[in-house]
Amino acid sequence: MLPPILIEGLVYANIITLLSIGFTLTYLTSRIPNFAQGTFASVGIYVTFTVTKIWGLNVYLAVPVGFTLNALIATLIYKGILRTLKKHGASLVSLMISTLAIELLILAGINIYADIIQAKLWIISRTFLLKYLDFSYVGLPGIFIVLTIFVLSLTVVLYLFLNRTKFGIAMRAAVEDPDLASLLGVNVDLVSTVSWFLTGGLAGIAGCLIPLWFQSDPNTGSMLTVSIFASSVLGGLSSIYGAILGGYIIGLTEVMGNSVLTRLLGGWAAYYRLLIPLTILCLTLLKAPRGLVGLIESIQTRGYKLQLIRRR
């Protein structure tokens, strides 16, 4: 069977991938780096908590609830706050600091919810792990199977959506050149709204499944922030497939690198797990700022140029 470290790595990589797809999507369509992306996942964590511990239902029933709730929250945030700010001519820096403020608002909301549950229902609502609720199939944990299948099919669905449907093509046009696209009748604002809806939903799904594998509390989501940045930047912040690639690379390197380092240097190395994505982030920005996608593109164009030279 698969070695446990690989399962651990892939579960983490899948979660990071889902979050960084969302991060890249909103960055592409509305040009806002959403620093609250990690905290969106925390909302999902508490949806799972509610569904399993309070309503006593199956864990996987939390996923559709988390998707809808989070998608609505994200849409509301975009429509209510960020678009208003943009209309008032806010600069990029103000938009970034406002996403930090939004992170704070969501975090406070989750904490209030957790406090109320603890006070009224007498259930411990922080630092919980729901691993025991998960099923397992041929020795593989359920979350691993579900997440892997979901991310793979999501890749296919997104590819079909962006290439085969009218709205998907309009979305790509809006990313490429918003002014020209809106001139040709594409509703650029609708495109942004849909992308925020999707971002929230995907983060909700990732968040719903986090408690099945990791110990969770309201801050768990924002701890992932650095990894999300790193994988999105490694992907190049220019295409969703880049984010998927980056998410897998960062997730696997983080988990495996961490295990190798702990084995070589001792248990204290585990504290510095965060330094792995940080190093990759800095190296990417300094050596290949356009990320993996940019790197692949430049290799392709170089090959094309070589062909041209040879033909001459």
Partner 1 sequence: MELELLTLFVMDTIVFFAIYLLVSVGLNIQMGYTGLPNFGIVASVAGGAYTVGWFVGRFAMMIYGIEGMDFINNNAYVVTQINAKLANDHLTAIMIFLLTMGLVIIVGMALGFITAYPAIRLSGDYLAMTLIAMAEAVRVIGIGFSPIAGGTLGVQVPDPFAWMGKMRYFGVIILILTISIITFLMVQLIINSPFGRLLRAVRDNEVTAESIGKNVVNVKIKAMILGSILASIAGALYSFYASATIPAAFTRYDWTFWAWLMMMVGGTGNNIGVLIGTLLVVLMRRLIAFYKFSLAAFLPFEPLWLELIGLGLVLILIMIFKPQGLLAEKPTRVRGVKSD
Q: How far apart are CA 136 and CA 5, in angstroms?
A: 17
- Binding residue for partner 1, selected from 27, 144, 150, 196, defined by CB under 8 A: 27
Q: How far apart are CA 311 and CA 309, in angstroms?
A: 5
Q: Taking CB under 8 A as the rule, does residue 100 contact partner 1?
A: yes
Give the phi and the psi of residue 177 in degrees, each rounded to 5.
-150, 95
Which positions from 242 through 301 interact with partner 1, judged by CB under 8 A? 268, 271-272, 274-275, 277-278, 281-282, 285-286, 289
What residues contact residue 111 under an 8 Å CB cut-off, 6+ apart? 218
Q: How far is the CB of 138 from partner 1 (least distance, A)?
A: 37
Q: How far apart are CA 68 and CA 23, in angstroms?
A: 18
- Binding residue for partner 1, selected from 226, 240, 249, 292, defined by CB under 8 A: 226
- Binding residue for partner 1, selected from 2, 76, 116, 180, defined by CB under 8 A: 116
Cα dihedral 85/91/93/97 (nearest 10): -10
Q: Taking CB under 8 A as the rule, does residue 2 contact partner 1?
A: no
Q: How far is the CB of 72 from partner 1 (least distance, A)?
A: 19
- Binding residue for partner 1, selected from 171, 233, 249, 255, defined by CB under 8 A: 233
For residue 219, give Cα distances in angstroms to 118, 126, 169, 232.
17, 10, 37, 21
Nearer to partner 1, 201 or 246 (CB): 246
Q: How far apart are CA 139 and CA 137, in angstroms?
A: 5
Nearer to partner 1, 140 or 274 (CB): 274
Q: Give the interface size with partner 1 as a residue count (CB under 8 A).
A: 46
Q: Taking CB under 8 A as the rule, does residue 119 contact partner 1?
A: yes
Q: Taking CB under 8 A as the rule, does residue 49 contact partner 1?
A: no
**For 121-159, b where at least 16 C-beta lie within 10 A, e where not — what string?**
eeeebeebebeeebeeeeeebbbbebbbebbeebeeebe
Residues that bind partner 1 (CB under 8 A): 27, 33, 35, 81, 84-85, 88-90, 92-94, 96-98, 100-102, 104-105, 107-109, 111-112, 115-116, 119-120, 225-226, 229-230, 233, 268, 271-272, 274-275, 277-278, 281-282, 285-286, 289
